[in-house]
Copies of this chain bind each other. A is one copy, B any other.
Amino acid sequence: MPSETINGERLMRHLHELGSIGRAQDGALVRLAGSEEDKLGRDKLVEWLKEADLDVVVDKVGNIFGIWNPDGVGPSHPVLMLGSHIDTVINAGIYDGCYGVLAGLEVIQTMMERGANPAVPIVIAAFSNEEGVLYSPDMMGSLVYAGGISADAALASVGTDGSVLGERLAQIGYAGTEEPGFLKPQAYVELHIEQGPVLERERVTIGAVENLQGISWQRIVIEGDANHAGTTPISMRKDAGLAAARVITFLRDRAKASSSRAVATVGTISFEPNAINVIPSRATFTVDLRDPNEHRLEEEEAALEEFLNQLETDEGVTVKVERLARSEPVKFDENIVKVIERTANARGYSYMRMTSGAGHDAQMIARVAPTAMLFVPSIGGISHNPKEFTQEQDLIAGANVLLDVARSLSGAEH
């Protein structure tokens, strides 16, 4: 096993330089996909890709590819793809997405410098609009790349500011001509910060991400009767707020009792009329259910439905459920996960298998290519926040594992 390592100083410099682009006057990092700030970030990435002698190609939805093709093979030849995204949320941290793209660049530069000779081209991908802040859906660039929606449909997306994504991409110079999907990955690997607290808690450096949770989002509206808080006996109430509270504790109790990685969250709520001395006539709240196993996720949804039906009887309320979003869990490629474990082990890094609780471009590319992810610890599990932080040694460790995984998957070891 090679003991070669990536250039940590260069990786950190790239991370901090990209993270300095798109700072608002108050210092907040904001590079929303399609914005002027996104253009500045893209320009910097393209500059670095070109400095590394990579071929830069932009496809119709603005996905950027940096291609290392040492043997000059044709465009139909399989490639190894390493990637993530460089767009951000509002008031973001500097690691989310950018780390995967810049670590991929670092891996290629290291391999070039050490004279590695991969059997397939290695490609860095920076997918458009992963965060989906202005334009829906999120993970858009990788979704289009995997054929989930057409490029035309994506480009027609109207942003929350009224703009059209296709026009904005043209304005900032990133409306390419290549058809999304033009490169055929034989494998896709995405290195990312965990955005959760597990690795830090477990004191483990590398997460070998074997699957990604399915997500079920529902909005629930419970209707009862608004009555006087003083004059209405408990037995005569139709208290929509109490019914909502019972749903919240039910979901927690189930998730806590589950032996799986299931999670359930009620993140939003409102009561009407929302007066201190009036029993709530309406409670509106959202339910976020996640499970890495589709069958179990369906079981959780069914259990909630049954509970809500019983609630109508028990509390004299009516319940309406609106489905907001639903994605099936993704099982990543077992072989790549094993390669990740093996290389982490050979490097002497602690590692564990885990589930991604958040969505990533990898879940889209998994539709068309063997795919897996690596995680490194996020301090405090914090992400989408300026406090997002991963220690330098862990960032370097993750990139080193990515280097070895890339060597292995590209046949560069042979």
Contact = CB atoms under 8 A, between A and B. Distances in A.
Interface of A: 194-198, 201, 213, 215, 217, 227-236, 239, 241-242, 244-246, 248-249, 252, 255-256, 261, 263-271, 274-280, 286, 288, 290, 324, 356-359, 381-384
Contact of A197 (B213, B215, B236, B256): B236
Given A249-B246, A252-B234, A268-B271, A276 B263 contact: no
Contacts of A275: 267-268
Contacts of A271: 267-269
A215 B230 CA distance: 8
Nearest to A234: B255
A217 to B, nearest CB: 6
A8 to B, nearest CB: 26
B280 A231 contact: no
Contacts of A286: 276
Contacts of A268: 271, 274-276
A292 to B, nearest CB: 11
A229 B265 contact: yes
A377 to B, nearest CB: 12
A263 B230 contact: yes
Pairs of residues from A and B, 3 with the lowest C-beta to C-beta distance, nearest first:
A196-B231, A230-B357, A231-B357
A288 B229 contact: yes
A244 B244 CA distance: 11
